[in-house]
Each structure stands twice: as structure tokens, then as C-alpha cells.
Amino acid sequence: MKNLFFSSLRNSLLTLVLLAVLPALGVILHSSLENRERDIKDAQAEALRVAQFLASEQQLITMRAEQLLSLLAQMPQVKALDAQATSTILRRLRTQSFVFTNIVATDAQGQIFGSALHLDRPVRLKAGQHFDTALQSGEFTVGDFNLGLPGTTSAPLLHFAYPITGNDGQALGLLATALRPDRYERIFNVASLPPGSVLSIADHSGKRIFRFPAATETSPTGQKIAMDLWNEVSGPNTLGTATVTFADGVRRIVAYTQLRLRPEAEPYLYISIGIPEQQALTGAINTLYRDLSFLAGAAFLAILVAWVVGGIVISRPVERLAAVARRLGSGDLDARSGAPEEFGELALLAKTLDDMAEALSEDITAREAAEVEVRKSEALLRMIMEALPVGVWMSDPSGRILYANQASRQIWGPAGESTESSPDLGAGFRAWRHDSGEALRPEDFVLARAIAGEDPAPVQVLDIETPGAAGHAVVHCAAIPIRDEDQALRAVMVVIEDITERTQREQARDSVEHIMRHDLRSPLVGFASLPQLLLREPNLTDEQRGWVARLGVSAGNMLRILDAYLKLSRIERGNLTLEPVQADLVALVQDARESLALLPSLKDKHVRLTLNGAPPAPIPGLVISCEETLCSTMLSNLLKNALEASPKGGVVEVDLEDLGHQARITVRNKGEVPLSIRDRFFEKYVTADKANGTGLGTYSARRIAEFHGGHIRLDASVPGQTTVAVLLPKTPPVKAGR
């Protein structure tokens, strides 16, 4: 039977073209799967970052609520159930920077006798599980789904309760306060997640306390979250990701975190961030469609070329060679094949027939050869220009666009008409100066300024609107004049880079830092002033004053940590200047040790400090020149990590060594760093599945050490032991902090 695929030269070429397309199709499909996996991982990482940030914020507020209520519960006026005095104290607190909706005090039966907000009539606090748990256990509790406290709105709130106990330890009443979860809307919006992303907060039983954006029809508050989502977030993992279908029918990539009052306690809150799977995979899907379209177009063109060129390049030359052979056979020695030399075996056959004639290449002059080389060079240059990721224009001295590569056409759209007095800026061109928002006149554009002879070459950052693919974009433009040997202007090259995404990322990061600096730090400053006010009360006992002092220390530490984070962010962006002061490393370690001793989870663990292998003397210690806040944060993070990793009753050894021009800090503890993360121990967000761990402690320590011109290393060579060593110059070099 005749084989149709190889029945002729043309059919054979078409078959080979189709077979050549198959590997490319396989590569495209494989690349699509890799893009899909990468996009899912990117979405998971982004959602996890936001969920961890919100969880950290909530844990901070919960800790503040516990400290505030426990302090109030120790006051004599509250213990005496003195309604007027208690209300006065609560209202005084309410006038400070306050994040809670209200604070109420009740007796053991739930009758409210004190409130930070005015109540028109006697009110009984609606009992809930947290109410009974606080009275029975005598401990701080977090409530389940419920509506507002008396005197506040009826919106769903997160409730906190702490018992009021007498001298005999019996419960006399209860202090309660609540937080509106909708305060997290701003942080969620700043995160710039894809459209359709959802923030969901549920209590310990899975009832939805808050959802943003709200969806009252499919996901009302007070109802249990979707079962698929609940099964994931309530699992054994404190932190994780999954892909589930929400109650609104949308399949989302979810990152969740569980919040606990204590490591061994059950979660009291579940925070989850969901990103629509379709949105996350948009890039991979579009890339697949684009690649398949390109492949289909290339295959069609290849088939068309094979069909047309096959007849021209193969069939016709074979017929022509046969005719020449017949003429030669008949005695016509003037017959010539005329075939060029570029066609392999056919050219070899033609050369055999044409050896008796003049070489075809004798008619090619040196000028024609040079023109061919010029055309090749121009083609190569055009290929390079089209492949560049930045836009490139080439203009003549009158401003008329001679050439625009693919990237510039995507940004600016098709070039329009131009005149000698008006440089060609593209049809519909509109631009503003990025820094001032001032509209840009055509004669102020970099191209016009370069044509006008401005030196050095002008550079601009512009906001533009064009009919191109970009539409609205932020671009960096530079004009480069091209002159001949007599310095006469021959052309102007304009280089355009689309920096929209980079600008948006910088703006988003600045927004988050602004929130931390103003919306978080300012209330915290107000909160830190409360202990000073309370210490002025003459009727506080020594124990109460001790608690108030500890509260002040904790608030100060929180402010220091927040300031250190803001400085660390500036270090990452490279715009923080090192301003060193003289600081005693011994004192810094002792301060960090005393601060960490206040944490209940670390009370049974200890830090042993030595200087050059011996207990440190009171003075002079080990003084270096450094950014004191950053070094204090670095030491606190290293000590906290070591204490948390140590077994119960463990001792963390800290040795400070004076090496002359350098100081070495060695932190050693029992316990091993998991092998899977040792190579990435100082990278961002790397953690060993530690409860409430963020993976930022060791990363920030590395950045701070490098910022001072030092370095940090991990030594896990001794089984059952972890050693972290930091080497810092006593005087940072000039290049440090850059």
C-alpha cells in the first residue's frame, strides 16, 4: 500500500514539520505545569505572610487584654466591687489610646457594676462559655462568637474575660472587654491580594466571627465556616496551607494559622486568608494559551513554507537538473543548472554539472558583498533590539521615529505622525511627572530635550497614559544623543523601562510601614504611658506596683521591637545610615535576659553569661560602637530562640569575647536545629514548625550583624547542641550600614 505521508517530497517535508512540533508541544505542556506549581506556591506564600502578620497582631492585642484585665483585677476598688470607683478607673483608661470597645466589671451573677462607657440602666452581662470558664478556672479566657458588650454596637466581637478574686481566692466577679475584628480590614486591603481574596476569622468552635469582604448570603457571621475549610484549619498543624472550596462556591488557596493562649491549650481563634485559585493561576493559564498560540502559528507557517518552498527548493531544482542533464546528453555544452551553492546535495550535483562553466559567484562584486554583510548586521541588531525587555526608540534629529522595538510598542502604542517642531510621542500621549504630578509638555519630554542639545543626557520618571498595551504605567525614560565625528546630531535613542510593578511594590511596602509607624506604634506609645499613671495611685500594694512595673517594661520592649523592625525594613531597602553609639554588650545581654524572664513560657529556663570565659565584672564590661537598638534586638532574638529550643530547666550559655578589634558573641543551648533547615537557618521565614514562629528572628540577626560589618554563623557539629556565633567589629568600618 502506498504510504501517503512519504508519497512525495512535499508530503515528506510536511510530515517532518509535524513531527518537529511534537517536542515543542511537550516542552510547553511541561513548562505550563511548572508555572502552575510556581504560581500556587507564590499564592500560598503570599497568603501565609498576611495570615502570620494578622495572627501576630491578634496575639499582641490578646496579650495586652490579659495584662490590662489582670492589672485591673488586682485593684482594691475592683475587688471591693465599688461601682463608682471602678467605673471612674475604667473611664479614665478609656480616654487613653484604646483599642477595645468597652471594659465592664460584673459580680459573680453577671450584674454589671462598672463600665468604661455610660450605661442608661442596670445591665446583666450575657453569660457565655468564656464567662463560666473564667469564673471556674480563675484564669484569663477568650470567648466564642457573640455580639457586642453593653454600651457598644451589636456587631460580632472577640470577647476577653478575667476573674475578680477575693483574698481567699474565691471568684467575686468578672472583668470583660471585647475587640472588633473589622479593624483588620485596613491591613488586609494594604496587602494588595488578588481580587476575590477573603479574610476569615472563626472562634474555637468554627463559628465565623468576621469575614472580609462580607458575604451575608453565603457566609453570614455566627454560622460555621465551610466544612472543607474547617477540616483544614482545625487540624493538628498550627500553620499551614490548603486548597478548599468556600461557601460561595469559589475554590481558593488558603493559608491559615491557629492562635492559642498557651502552647498546650486548644486554639481559641482561627485566621485564614483565601486567594481564588483561578486568580492565582491566571499567569500560568495565559502563558499556556500564548505559547500554544505561538506554536500553532509557527506550525502553520512552517507547513506553509514547507509546501511552498518544497516545490521551489526541491522539486523545481530536481526537474531543472534533469533538463540540464538531457541537454548535456544531447551535446549542448552551454547548458547551465544555475543552482545556488546553499542547497547541500542538490548544489553538489549542480556543481558537478557546472564545473565546465564559469563560477556563478564571479558576478558578485565587493560592494554587493559588503551590502549583504551590512544587511546581516542590521538584521542581527534588529533581532537583539526586539528581544530587549526595555523599550527603545530611534529618532532622527527632527523627532520623527525611525524605529521602535516590541517593548516600546507595548508601552507607548503605535507611533503617530510627527513634525519638525513636535517630536513624535505616539497618538494620544499623556504624561505627568511622577514625583510632582505635573503634566508634561511635549517639548519637555527627554526626546525633545535631547534634540534641543541638553547635556548631559536627560532622564525622567513619568506617569503615562497611552493607547498601548500598558494603558497607565510608570516609566523610566532616558535619551541618548548619537553624534558623528563633527559632533553633529545624527539620531537620538530613547530607552524606556516600565517600572510600574516595582513602584507599586514600594508603595505597598511604604503603606505597611506607615501603618506600623502610626496606627500601631502611636497606640502602643499611649499604652506604654499607662503604667506611669497607675504608679501615681497611692493605694497600690507592692505586688501591684511590681505588676505595673513589669507592664511598663513589657510595653517598652514592644516599642523597641517595633522600632527595630522599622529599622530592619530600612536596612533591607538600603536607606538606613548607621549611627553608632558606645554600648556595653554585657549590659545589653543582661537587659535581654531580664526582659525574657517575664515570659511565662521561659520561666523555668536560665541564661548563664560569661565574659572571656569568666563571670563578668560590673565594669567595664565589653564596650563596642554600634546601633544600640538593633544590637539589643539581635541579642534578644538569639536568646529567645535558644531558650525556646532548650529543654525544660535548660541553661543557655552566652559568652562574650574581646578579640582586640572585634567582639565575638557565642550563644549555646541544648537541642539540635533540624537538618532540613540548617543550610537555610538565617534565611527569611525559615522556621522549624515552632508554635507561633515567624522565621524572622535569625534572619534579622544576620541582617543586623552584616549591617554593622560583621557576620554570623551556625555550628551544629556537636550532637544535641546548637551554637550561634556573631563576630562584630568594635568600630564599624566606613562602608558598614550601606
Omega prior to 456 cis, within 30 of 0:
yes
Cα separations (Å) of 344 from 308, 318, 361, 448?
19, 13, 16, 52
Q: Cite the residue boundaries of each domain of the chain with CATH code 3.30.565.10.
A: 508-729
How does pLDDT run across 360-401, given as a tens digit for each residue? 334 445 666 767 887 887 788 778 777 777 888 888 888 888
Q: Give residue 122's pLDDT.
A: 77
Please report the DSSP string for 393-430 in residue order: EEE-TTS-EEEE-HHHHHHH-S-----SSS----TT-E
pLDDT over 60 at 143, yes or no: yes
For residue 121, give the DSSP letter.
S
**CA distance from start to end of the chain:** 78
* Range 508-729 classified under CATH 3.90.320.10: no
Tell me: pLDDT of 1 over 60.
no
For residues 303-337, b (16+ Cβ closer than 10 Å) or e, as one string?
Answer: eeebeeebeebbeebeebbeebeeebeeeeeebbb
Cis amide prior to 580 (ω within 30 degrees): no
pLDDT for the residue numbered 607? 92
Length of the chain in residues, anyone? Answer: 738
pLDDT one-digit tens code per residue, 275-303: 998 888 888 888 888 878 887 888 778 77
State the pairing for strand pair 651-658/606-611.
Answer: parallel
Identify the CATH assignment for 74-179 out of 3.40.50.300, 3.40.1360.10, 1.10.3720.10, 3.30.450.20.
Answer: 3.30.450.20
Per-residue cell: 326? 538531457
Stretch(es) of the chain classified as CATH 3.30.450.20: 34-61+183-280, 74-179, 375-498
Q: Which phi and psi (to 5°) does residue 216 adopt?
A: -65, -25
Instruction: Record the pTM.
Output: 0.42
Report the SS3 class of residue 259: strand
Position 221 confidence tier, pLDDT thresholds 50, 70, 90: confident
More confident residue, 497 or 696: 497
Q: Is the pLDDT of residue 497 over 80?
A: yes
pLDDT category at 416 given cuts 50, 70, 90 is very low
Label each residue of 440-462 as H, E or C: CCHHHCHHHHHHCCCCCCCEEEE
The residues, any chain, with a CB within 8 Å of residue 672's CB and separated by 6 or more, are 716, 719, 720, 721, 722
In one-letter notation, the amino acid at residue 139 is E
C-alpha to C-alpha distance for 87 and 380, rounded to whole angstroms: 83
pLDDT (tens digit per residue) in 615-670: 887 777 899 999 888 898 899 889 988 998 899 889 999 999 999 999 999 999 99
From the number of C-beta atoms within 10 Å of its C-beta (0-12, 13-18, 19+), residue 250 rates as middle
Q: Is 421 exposed, middle or buried (0-12, 13-18, 19+ CB in 10 A)?
A: exposed
pLDDT higher than threshold 80 for residue 417: no
The amino acid that residue 166 corresponds to is G
C-alpha angle 426/431/434, rounded to 5°? 145
Query: How far apart are the C-alpha atoms of 472 and 458, rounded to whole Å?
Result: 22
Separation between Cα atoms, residue 175 and residue 138, nearest integer Å: 12
Residues ≥6 apart with Cβ < 8 Å to 167: none
Binned at pLDDT 50, 70 and 90, residue 472 comes out as confident
Measure the CA dihedral 184/190/195/196, to 10°: -10
Determine the 3-state secondary structure of 71 from DSSP.
Answer: helix
Cα separation, 97 vs 682, in Å, equals 37
Q: Which candidate, 136, 130, 101, 99, places its Cα nearest to that of 115?
A: 101
* Mean local confidence (pLDDT), 137-164: 73
- Residue 554's pLDDT band, with cuts at 50, 70 and 90, is confident
Cβ 88 vs Cβ 179: under 8 Å: no
- Alpha carbon distance 643, 623 (integer Å): 25
CA distance 103 to 114: 8
Residue 44: all three cell numbers together: 500560598
Give how far Cα 509 sits from Cα of 169, 520, 715, Å: 49, 15, 34
pLDDT at 467: 61
Helix (H, G, I), strand (E, B) or coil at 80: coil
**355 contacts 337 by C-beta, under 8 angstroms:** no
Phi and psi, residue 613, nearest 5°: 85, 0
Q: What angle do CA 501, 503, 505 make, to 5 degrees?
A: 70
Cell numbers standing for residue 272: 485564614
pLDDT band at 419 (very low <50, low <70, confident <90, very high): very low
User: How far is the CA of 425 from the CAs of 152, 395, 417, 448, in angstroms?
Assistant: 59, 11, 9, 10
464 vs 625, higher pLDDT: 625
Cell digits of residue 706: 552584616
Q: How far is the CA of 62 from the CAs of 159, 586, 613, 680, in angstroms?
A: 10, 33, 41, 32
Cβ contacts of residue 530 below 8 Å, gap of 6+? 93, 96, 551, 555
* Rounded mean pLDDT, 96-105: 78
CATH number among 3.30.565.10, 3.30.450.20, 3.40.50.460, 2.40.50.100, domain 375-498 = 3.30.450.20
Mean local confidence (pLDDT), 321-342: 66
DSSP string across 265-331: SPPSEEEEEEEEHHHHTHHHHHHHHHHHHHHHHHHHHHHHHHHHHIIIIIIHHHHHHHHHHHHHHTT
Q: How confident is the model at residue 423 (pLDDT cuts 50, 70, 90)?
A: very low
Whole-Å CA distances, 391 to 377, 379, 406, 416, 452: 20, 18, 7, 16, 22
pLDDT (tens digit per residue) in 180-198? 887 788 888 887 888 888 9
What sign has the CA pseudo-torsion 393, 394, 397, 398?
negative
Beta bridge partners of 105: 114, 175
The answer to whether 256 touches 51, Cβ cutoff 8 Å, is yes
With 50 as the cut, is the pLDDT of residue 579 above it? yes
pLDDT at residue 510, rounded to an integer: 65
Question: Which of 394-403, 491-500, 630-639, 672-681 has maximum average pLDDT?
Answer: 630-639
Separation CA 472–CA 464 (nearest Å): 6
Residue 519 near residue 512 (C-beta atoms within 8 A): no
> With 70 as the cut, is the pLDDT of residue 336 above it?
no
pLDDT digit string (tens) for 43-54?
888 888 988 888
pLDDT in tens, 499-510: 777 777 766 666
Give the pLDDT confidence score for residue 520 in this predicted structure: 67
User: In 3-state terms, the chain is what percent helix, strand and coil (to 5)?
Assistant: 45, 20, 35
pLDDT tens digits for 588-619?
Answer: 999 888 888 877 778 888 999 999 988 887 77
CA distance 685 to 697: 9
Secondary structure of residue 103 in the 3-state scheme: strand
Evaluate whether the domain defined by 34-61+183-280 bears CATH number 3.30.1450.10. no
Residue 30, CA atoms < 13 Å, CB-side half-sphere: 6
